[in-house]
Structure 1
Amino acid sequence: MFGVLLVNLGTPDAPDAPSVRRFLKQFLSDPRVVDLSPWIWKPILNGIILNTRPAKVAKLYQSIWWDEGSPLMVISQRQREKLAIELSSLYGHEVPVELGMSYGSPSLSQGLERLKAQGIDRVVVLPLYPQYSCSTVASVFDGVAGVLKSWRRLPDWRMVREYYRHPLYIRALADSVRRLWDADGKAELLLMSFHGVPLRYITEGDPYQAQCQETARLVAKDLGLGNDEWQVCFQSRFGKEEWLTPYTDELLESLPGKGVKKVDIMCPAFSADCLETLEEIAEGGKESFIHAGGEQYRVIPCLNDDDGHIRLLAELVREQSLGWQVG
């Protein structure tokens, strides 16, 4: 019997400084996320960052927090429920699906233990990161392996490494753009803003940048866009190290001066709306663009629990479970 562990980054339990501090400590202590020497990084993290950032970040979370809880967690629960229904329809019987977050709760351990309690001996681990990066997908691998090394009996497990060019993923992204354009027309420029990573990661062999570019190219092709009608950019940089460019915030500030007054923006690397899309892009990005002289700024939601997205996730599970007896 097999089940699915649906994985995302995670979220603080509450939009307050203590919760954010706990979350940031776990997140920023992961050497896959920050690969500096611990002798250098730990004093900075514990002495400066964890004493200054939690209160500021908590205010940002408060600005986007829903009545039901963290947007990322609420959407992840909806994804889990819909994926379970889709898989049950696909296989003709119940397929357990559990959440496991890389940081925060429910943890990877809790998700795997819940599957184990249901008699699962084969697991498809599905990280909700379309593009591979050592700081995301590899971190999930580390986390799952770290949990399983304490189990007496190991399950057979497979993990989705990437799906940046999967036809159903590209179609779902393009359809999300079409829905906006069919209802309200097309802007002058479509921006595809991906989460950034340090440039050094790319020079050391991480394929993330190339996969982001390929995703964007395929979406633009599906939409029939010319080269001057779309652009890739990168958001959420942290620290003083050079990250992938162009930076989303700087690009938004520059566009009105180049005559681009109307933009639509989407975040293809995010499978669920969260702080980085709802605050950084929807609120901060709009403020930057309009303040610089822009006239129209529209944000296309993440795929979230859209039916096309759920069909994609079910297909990824089906592809990974090929060869298993699934009854």
Structure 2
Amino acid sequence: MPFPNSSALSPSFLLASIPGLEASQGWLSLLLCCAYLVAVTGNSSVLVVVRLEPTLHTPMYLLLCMLAATDLALATCTVPRALCSYWLQARDISFGACLLQMFLIHSLSAVESSVLLAMAVDRYVAICHPLRHAAVLTNASTASLGLLAVARAVLFFLPLPLLLLPLPFCGPWGLSHSFCLHQDVMNLACGSTTPSMVYGLTAILLVMGLDALLICLSYSLILRAVLRLAAWQDRLRAFGTCVAHGCVVLAFYVPLIGLSVVHRFGRDLPPMVHVTMGFIYVLMPAVLNPIIYGVRTKQIRRRIWSLVRVSDRTPW
């Protein structure tokens, strides 16, 4: 019998296990745990290094800190709960906790998209208008961009859980991911989900879709400006400053598009595909971003090695 979730009898959902691989679930969850530890260590290292190195207190590295903090929060609000479901068989998640996790996942993704757009604008101003870069992008304006990104994410994605509150759920309760996503939860409702579906698609298009379009526009302008440079050494140097950010953009948007395609058109795909794509979406940016910027940025690499050497010399 369906019942509205506003009642005291709100359902609990079942987080997805690793279908067909229950016997190997311990080893696979160990790999997931290792990936999470890499993400936590890498992003925490970026935050600590930028905090300790005064020469890195610039808009570009402040944006990098925002990106690292967002990745850290996104991984932390999903992976530990999934590991509990694997190791402790605690697959039940209450309706309220599921809605909260869903809001955090989508809003943090929106924040990351906004930060990537701000980083693209930073590269555009630095390459196309270098004399105005210091005046346009200051530490204060960068902090304002971060606050604007958070406010934008909350404004657009807070309605997602609110639109699901009045819907009745009549089973089945099993989710296709090991955490709560909007469309996954919405598909379990037995009432009309048209308003929730339309708003969810609109919010994604107006935030992630618009950001992706503006990032492509920024890089097209950067490419045009770089190709006008006379010396190939200058072209190579200008391209090099954008390589790391381009890889970070791909690490975010490719899993996002892949997950969207799986949700829209992959209902007949094996459950393992849904579970795997969910973890790729959550963990790929968090794992790759610190590695990309750590390898690319000499200041971060040198500071990390100096901290490692100091820790090795410290007596225990």
Q: Which has the higher strand share?
A: 1
TM above 0.5, one fold?
no
> Which is greater in Rg?
2
Q: TM-score, normalised by structure 1?
A: 0.29
Q: Which has the higher helix share?
A: 2
Q: Which has the higher contact order (CA 8 A, sep 6+)?
A: 2
Q: TM-score, normalised by structure 2?
A: 0.30
